[in-house]
């Protein structure tokens, strides 16, 4: 029985992650002003080692970023056991890898950066709300997306 419950949790986390990834990256590329709706009020974003906490700071941060185009190449999602934050619904840990173009880099010779964010979020699609996100730009690639 425990194995079935675990499989159910993994399936739920994976379905939610797929929906969430599509929603998040469409929003950051096309509707950035709405992006904070995907974060809990007390969420913390760490962008290349720089922490940003709270809705007002997140809004200010997202508005200063240059235009972007993200392409997620792969992601891995795992349910978090034991309700780490002591609340329902269940949480998931989401790791992504992909390519990222922004601002002046759209047409340059090194136009695609690699990125690897880590999200912590509930698995209930009706309560999308990250409480933690770590974002790392990895390197410059010579290819384009």
Give the domain ranges of the chain.
Answer: 2-141
* pLDDT at position 143: 47
pTM: 0.76
Written as six digits, the tokens of 47 are: 């962008």
Q: What is the pLDDT of residue 126?
A: 43
CATH class of 2-141: alpha beta
CA 19/CA 27 separation, integer angstroms: 12
Q: What is the mean pLDDT of each run of 10 residues along the chain (145 residues)?
A: 70 85 91 86 84 90 87 89 56 86 65 81 58 58 48
Torsion (CA) 76, 125, 57, 86 in degrees, nearest 10: -80
Nearest to 140, CA basis, from 118, 111, 120, 117: 111
């Amino acid at each position: 029985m425990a194995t079935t419950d675990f499989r159910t949790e993994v399936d739920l986390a994976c379905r939610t992650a797929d929906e969430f990834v599509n929603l998040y990256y469409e929003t950051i590329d096309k509707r950035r002003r709405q992006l904070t709706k995907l974060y809990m009020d007390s969420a913390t974003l760490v962008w290349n080692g720089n922490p940003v906490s709270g809705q007002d700071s997140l809004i200010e941060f997202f508005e200063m970023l240059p235009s972007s185009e993200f392409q997620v190449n792969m992601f891995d999602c795992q349910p978090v056991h034991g309700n780490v934050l002591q609340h329902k619904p269940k949480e998931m840990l989401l790791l992504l890898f992909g390519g990222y173009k922004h601002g002046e880099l759209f047409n340059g010779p090194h136009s695609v950066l690699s990125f690897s964010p880590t999200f912590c979020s509930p698995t209930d699609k009706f309560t999308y709300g990250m409480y933690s996100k770590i974002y790392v730009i990895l390197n410059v690639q010579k290819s384009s997306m």
